[in-house]
Amino acid sequence: MQPFKDFFTAYAAASLGDDPHAIASFYAETFMVAAPVGAAAYRNDDKFIDWLNGVIRFNKDVGMQEMNPANVETSAMGEHYTLARVTWKASFDRTVNQPIAFDISYILQHTPAGVKIIGYVSHDDQEAVMKKYGLL
C-alpha cells in the first residue's frame, strides 16, 4: 500500500501547485471520471491542460491550503491494474481547523512509465460538499 500512498501524496502535491502538466502526468492518455452528477471520458491533451489551469485557479479562489491522502485501500485487479479507494482530507482558509474528508475510488494502470490514473469515481458531489462548508 505504501507505494500507492506515495503516489497519491505526490499527486496531491502536484494538485496544489501551479503546473497543470505536473498534474496531467498522473493520468493516462485517455481516462474516465464519474461522480453522482454524471460521468465523462477525457483525453490527456491541451484541452485537459486548459481545464486543469481552471482547477488551479478555482482551488486558489476557494483558499485550498492542503490536500492529503488520509487513507488508501487497494486491491489488485489482475496483473496490470489496481483499484484504490482514497479518503482525502482537504483544508481551506475557512476550514483549516476542520479538514473536509471525501472519498474517491481510482483505477490505476501499471505502465512502463509508472502508475497512471485511467479512471476515478467520486463518491460525493463536490459542489454540494463545498456549499455545505460555505466554500461556494
pLDDT tens for each residue of the chain, 136 residues long? 578 999 999 999 999 999 999 999 999 999 999 999 899 999 999 999 999 999 999 889 888 888 999 999 999 999 999 999 999 998 888 776 788 889 999 999 999 989 999 999 999 888 788 788 777 7
28 grid coordinates: 493516462
Taking the domain 2-132, which CATH number applies? 3.10.450.50
Number of Cβ atoms within 10 Å of the Cβ of 134: 9
Domain regions of the chain by residue span = 2-132
3-state secondary structure of 13: helix
102, 90 Cβ separation under 8 angstroms: yes
Chain centroid to CA 79: 23
Chain centroid to CA 45: 17
Distance CA 134, CA 136 (A): 6
